[in-house]
Amino acid sequence: MPIHRLSQSLINKIAAGEVIERPASAVKELMENAVDARATRIHVDVVAGGTELIRIVDNGHGIPADELELALTCHATSKIEDADDLFRVGTLGFRGEALASIAEVSRLVLRSRTAEQPGGAQIEAAGGRLSEVGPCGAPVGTTVEVRDLFFNMPVRRKSLRAAQTELAHVKEAFTRIALALPSIDFALTHNDRPVVELAGTRGWLDRIAVLFGRELAENLIWVESEQSDVHLSGYVAHPSYTRSNNQTQYLFLNCRYIRDRSLQHALREAYRGLIMTGRWPIAFLNLAMPPEAVDVNVHPTKTEVRFHNGGHLYGQILSTIRNKFLATDLHARARTEDDPAEACDEAQAAKIRQELVGWAKGKVSDWEADEAREEGPDRQTAFDVESRSWSDPPLEITRLDRSWAPAGGHAASRGLPDGASSGAACSDGSREPRQTEVRTVGGPHSPRAVQFHNRYLVTESDEGLMIFDQHALHERILYEQLRARVASSRLETQSLLVPEPVDLAPAEAAAVIEHGETLERLGMKVEPFGGDTVLISGYPAMLANLNPAEVLRELLDPLMTAGAELDREDVFDRLLHTIACKAAIKAGDRLAPEEITTLLEQRHLVDNAHHCPHGRPTALVFSREDLDRQFKRI
């Protein structure tokens, strides 16, 4: 076939293929148009999940009669004028292709009236063929009716699902817009029956409560912060309130619903250690920033955007939520509420809590300081550890030195963390201790220490009493040691005699190859091996006890979520975290007395030992004075 120009109708159909996937996509585009027209009331009616009819009625500014035809023409918009406008989009739409696309693949009626017009005007389209514009009765505003979506694209039409499924997608599209704009009245009906009615409200929480239920709304915590030009605000759920998937994470950018893997990852990190593996945080967050700070023109449906400063946003979300959790002192709540005596002395309790929180916050502020430093010209790398003073770490990297462990005893039979439980250790799905035992160790040179519930170590210090989370402490120690070894090039690679092929998903293979150099710094040598298979030819010697393919798979998560926003050092740092987490002892592991001693002795070798790499505290401290006060001695 010789090269020829495609007909406009075919071009529109191709565009429609991208923008309009199912009834819900048309609902989204039409609702966005109503929002852009400054409507204060938007009603959506669908029949048979939107496959038979979608009707959107708004009271916005309307379209002048002489522009109706243009509104249905491809690449016609009133929202941007020149290329510069593309980089400061202040409306939800701007591509000028939604109406034309829908008109191409349905039977559409567009009725509208502006405040200046005495009456309404309407135009019809069927499979892209436009009628004449004629008069009609209509209030100020716009009504769009879309019937028989994809009637002229049988393959698409066939791929539509049952009405209930399509309705579920419509509801989700409706919810995303209704959530972003609480001051607008919205209503949705299906087959003439009301589904949702939302009266405009000033409070976001009210809207969330109507859409997601009172119970959820009552478990939300307000978070807010301002960094550079970015104002972050919204609600996150108390960590005891989670979902089994990540669908209840509503992130808005200047009131536009977006999905962003990196920011979702930041959210997950903020909850790390507070929720069980397999559970997902709930969040409703809005990022308000100057339109120039983001490129929304990267995705036909505009749900994915490109931030100019994604790394900062990641940090802002993580630190804002984390700080809030620390300040809310989620765990301490139970402690004070259970104790009537302490409740009497609220001020005292608050002060102690404040001290604890201030101390626990250390990590987040360190981390923020790192962020700030990044901006300076003499950016210090995250791996500038040479200046630190510590003796060569005696702790074996993958496990505690157990040469002294009783043969055949519990400690000896405990293997290294396996794939299934390693992730769990970072959250709380730790191994269940069947019996609870309290064991004390101590000697002339070591602090007396006790293991509780196979997960906490309690010891005496000069200041008072310290309680460690054994997994978090070990993870932190391993992390610091890994960093030190990398910095001093003492990280050895062990070549595999028989390189190991690993089959990956295409995106995973691409990420592994892209970050090949970073992986190599960790001693992990990976090469492409055709298709989506990669070949592991070298492996960090210190992880010799772990299965190379399994470790690579563990590393995929931080690699995949890295995206383009994170620089290589950040990616590398995340890989270190993952390895440290995987190699550390778990909550639920019973430790022999000598192991407890070794672990506690190691804490002096690392800075920041009171925080695990994820920023969650590894220890709580009660000073003697605190205790004296609590017991009313002073």
Binding-site ranges for Mg ion (CB under 5 A): 33, 93, 98
Q: What does 395 interact with, of Mg ion, ligand ADP, none (CB < 5 to 8 A by kind)?
A: none
Q: Which tokens sit at 422?
A: 């390693």
Query: Kind and range of the H or E element at 620?
Result: strand 619-623
Nearer residue to Mg ion within complex by CB, 33 or 518: 33
SS3 299: coil
Q: Which of ligand ADP, Mg ion, none interacts with 589 (beta carbon under 5 to 8 A by kind)?
A: none
Nearer to ligand ADP, 25 or 578 (CB): 25
* Of 97 and 565, CB closest to ligand ADP: 97
Q: What stretches of 412-488 adopt beta strand conformation (E)?
A: 439-441, 449-452, 456-460, 464-469
Stretch that binds ligand ADP, among 31-39, 298-306, 320-328, 417-425 (CB under 6 A): 31-39
The site partner of 58 among ligand ADP, Mg ion, none (C-beta below 5 to 8 Å per kind) is ligand ADP
Would you say 96 and 74 are in contact if contact means Cβ atoms under 8 Å apart? yes
Q: Which residue lies nearer to ligand ADP by CB, 79 or 243?
A: 79
Residue 269 contact partner, candidates Mg ion, ligand ADP, none, CB within 5 to 8 A by sort of partner: none
The Cα 548–Cα 498 span in angstroms is 12
Distance CA 60, CA 31 (A): 11
- Min dist. Cβ of residue 69 to ligand ADP (A): 11
- Is residue 491 within 8 Å of residue 523, measured between CB atoms? yes
Both tokens of 350, joined, read 């608050």
State the Cα–Cα distance between residues 634 and 624, nearest whole angstrom. Answer: 11
How far apart are alpha carbons 404 and 139 in whole angstroms?
86
**Interacting partner of 34 out of Mg ion, ligand ADP, none (Cβ under 5 to 8 A depending on kind):** ligand ADP
Three-state DSSP state, 445: coil
Q: Which is nearer to ligand ADP, 121 or 441 (CB)?
A: 121
Alpha-helix runs per DSSP H in 441-501: 470-487
Q: Are strands 193-198 and 120-126 parallel, antiparallel or unpaired?
A: unpaired
* Dihedral angle of Cα 242, 244, 246, 250, to the nearest 10 degrees: -40
User: Computed from CA positions of residues 505, 510, 514, 516, in that sequence, does the dihedral angle turn out positive or negative?
Assistant: positive
Q: Does residue 37 touch ligand ADP according to CB under 6 A?
A: yes
508 binds, among ligand ADP, Mg ion, none (CB under 5 to 8 A by kind): none
Instruction: Tell the smallest beta-carbon distance from residue 15 to ligand ADP (Å).
Output: 10
Determine the 3-state secondary structure of 536 from DSSP: strand
Interface of this chain with ligand ADP, residues 142 to 161, rule: CB under 6 A = 142
Encoded tokens for 391? 């003796």
State which residue has the least CB distance to Mg ion: 93
Least distance to Mg ion, CB of residue 76, Å: 11
| Distance, CA of 578 to CA of 269 (rounded, Å) | 12
Query: DSSP letter string over 572-626?
Result: HHHHHHHHHHHHSPPTT----HHHHHHHHHHGGGSTTTTB-TTS-BSEEEEEHHH
Question: Which one of 16, 19, 24, 34 is in contact with ligand ADP (CB under 6 A)?
Answer: 34
Residue with smaller CB distance to ligand ADP, 35 or 405 = 35
List the x/- string, 39-58, binding to ligand ADP by CB under 6 A. Answer: -------------------x
Helix (H) / strand (E) element for 248: namely: none
Applying CB under 6 A, the span of 9-17, 70-78, 484-492, 508-516 interacting with ligand ADP comes to 70-78
With CB under 6 A, what is the number of residues at the site for ligand ADP? 23
- Near ligand ADP in 509-528, by CB under 6 A: none
**Which element (helix H / strand E) includes 94?**
none
Q: Which is nearer to ligand ADP, 97 or 469 (CB)?
A: 97
Chosen from Mg ion, ligand ADP, none, partner binding at 472 (C-beta under 5 to 8 Å by type): none
Does residue 60 belong to the site contacting ligand ADP (CB under 6 A)? yes
> What residue 94 binds from Mg ion, ligand ADP, none (CB within 5 to 8 A, per partner kind)?
ligand ADP
Residue 143 or 427 with smaller CB distance to ligand ADP: 143
Contacts of 164 (CB under 8 A, 6+ apart): 49
Minimal distance, residue 1 CB to Mg ion, in Å:
34
C-alpha–C-alpha distance, residues 51 and 151, integer Å: 9
140 or 288: CB nearest ligand ADP: 140
Q: Please enumerate in sequence order all residues whose Cβ is within 8 A of that of 179, keeping only pairs 6 or more positions apart, or say none.
A: 204, 207, 208, 211, 250, 252, 257, 284
Q: Is the CB of 101 or the CB of 518 nearer to Mg ion?
A: 101
Among 25, 33, 249, 320, binds ligand ADP (CB under 6 A): 33
Among Mg ion, ligand ADP, none, residue 60 binds (CB under 5-8 Å by kind): ligand ADP
Q: Min. distance of Cβ 523 from ligand ADP in angstroms?
A: 50
Site string for ligand ADP, 71-110 (x = CB under 6 A): x----xxxx-------------xxxxxxxx----------
Six-digit token string for 78 = 């009133």
CA–CA dist 535, 528 (Å, integer): 6
Residue 288 three-state SS: strand
Q: What are the residue ranges of helices labelled H in 160-197?
A: 163-180
As given in the structure block, the two tokens for residue 480 are 């610091």
Smallest distance, ligand ADP to C-beta of residue 181, A: 14
Identify whether the C-beta of residue 386 lies closer than 8 Å to the C-beta of residue 487: yes
| Nearer to ligand ADP among residue 33 and residue 320 (C-beta) | 33
User: Parallel, antiparallel, or unpaired for β 525-528 and 533-540?
Assistant: antiparallel
For ligand ADP, which is the closer residue by CB, 37 or 552? 37
Contact 45, 175 (CB under 8 A): no
Q: Measured from the CB of residue 51, what is the shortest distance to ligand ADP in angstroms?
A: 21
Q: Give min distance, CB of 303 to ligand ADP, in A.
A: 15
Q: What is the largest CA-CA distance in the chain?
A: 97
Write down the number of H helices and E strands in the chain. 23, 24
- Cβ contacts of residue 404 below 8 Å, gap of 6+? 592, 594
Nearer to Mg ion, 146 or 236 (CB): 146
Q: What residue has token string 């293979």?
A: 509
Q: How far is the CB of 34 from ligand ADP (least distance, A)?
A: 5
**Residue 512, token pair as written in the block:** 């592994």
Part in contact with ligand ADP (CB under 6 A); list of ranges 27-35, 260-268, 454-462, 564-572: 27-35
Query: Per CB under 6 A, does 63 bind ligand ADP?
Result: yes
Choose from Mg ion, ligand ADP, none: what does 486 bind? Cβ within 5-8 Å by kind.
none
Instruction: Please identify, using beta-carbon distances, which residue of 100 and 587 lies nearer to ligand ADP.
Output: 100
Q: Using CB under 6 A as the criterion, which residues of the chain lie in contact with ligand ADP when the complex forms?
A: 29, 33-34, 37, 58, 60-63, 71, 76-79, 93-100, 142
